[in-house]
Amino acid sequence: MNYERLEKNITDNIKEAQIKLGFENRPMSFNYMLGSLNHLIGENLDSDSMKTALENFAVNTRERLGEITFRPIKDGFCITVSAEGTAYVNGLDGFEFITEFVNTVRNHGVSLDDVMVVFRKYSENVVAEKKENGEFDWLVYFADGNPDEYLYCIALEEEIDGHIHVMYHRFIREDYEEFNF
């Protein structure tokens, strides 16, 4: 079983939260649907088999992420990474794109053009597709998966004062495709 993509996804989620909220030396928990976990490890496991896989994952990542615990939730698992693990992630490099992206979209009055400048700063292989699905306005991603493999669903919400506020969700491709937006 390959746990690299799951570890990277958890690490990316921790770093994204740290960028948004700041680093606190505390554990962090993330809910994963069973389907997402299967996509990330490249398997098709039921809940019982996934429990065993997560036990193995926790052993395999202990050196880097410290103690990882998990508990079943409806249709998936809640994975908790120890304070030791979140401190490890806080010290990692290589998150320049997501840092600049989050720091851009957190401001009011940001336009889609401002967002696209950030994407294009990190790659010439940016795909931006206009969507009219009632969920979000744009799907933006790096065609070659560099600097990251996520698909960004961007919504442009008008505020009371007339300014635009950018909101986003990011998905791995397989989850996005399952949502069938």
Task: List pLDDT tens digits, range 109-166.
Answer: 899 999 999 999 999 999 999 998 999 999 999 999 999 999 999 999 888 788 888 9
**For 29-54, what is the mean pLDDT?**
98
Residue span of the structural domain in which 165 resides? 107-179
Query: Could you tell me the pLDDT band of residue 1, with boundaries at 50, 70 and 90?
Result: confident
- Prediction pTM value: 0.95
Q: What's the CA gap between 85 and 114, in Å, rounded? A: 33
* Cα separations in angstroms, 163 against 7, 37, 101, 110, 138: 38, 38, 19, 8, 18
The overall average pLDDT reported for the chain is: 96
Residue 111 sits in the same domain as residue 144: yes
Residue 111 sits in the same domain as residue 43: no
Residue 86 sits in the same domain as residue 114: no
Two tokens, residue 113: 């053009």
Residue 11 sits in the same domain as residue 84: yes
Residue 31 sits in the same domain as residue 76: yes
Residue 8 sits in the same domain as residue 59: yes
- 34, 61, 90 — which closes off a domain? 90
Q: Please tell me the predicted confidence (pLDDT) of residue 70.
A: 97
Q: Please tell me the predicted confidence (pLDDT) of residue 121.
A: 98
Please give the tally of structural domains in the chain: 2
Residue 170 has pLDDT above 90, yes or no: yes
User: Is residue 147 in some structural domain?
Assistant: yes
Q: Please tell me the predicted confidence (pLDDT) of residue 132.
A: 81
- 41, 63, 90 — which closes off a domain? 90
Two tokens, residue 99: 């840092």
Q: Please tell me the predicted confidence (pLDDT) of residue 89.
A: 98
Residue 97 has pLDDT above 90, yes or no: yes
What is the number of other CB atoms lying within 10 angstroms of the CB of residue 162? 7
> What percentage of residues in the chain have a pLDDT greater than 70?
100
Residue 86 sits in the same domain as residue 122: no
> What percentage of residues in the chain have a pLDDT greater than 90?
91
User: Is residue 102 in some structural domain?
Assistant: no
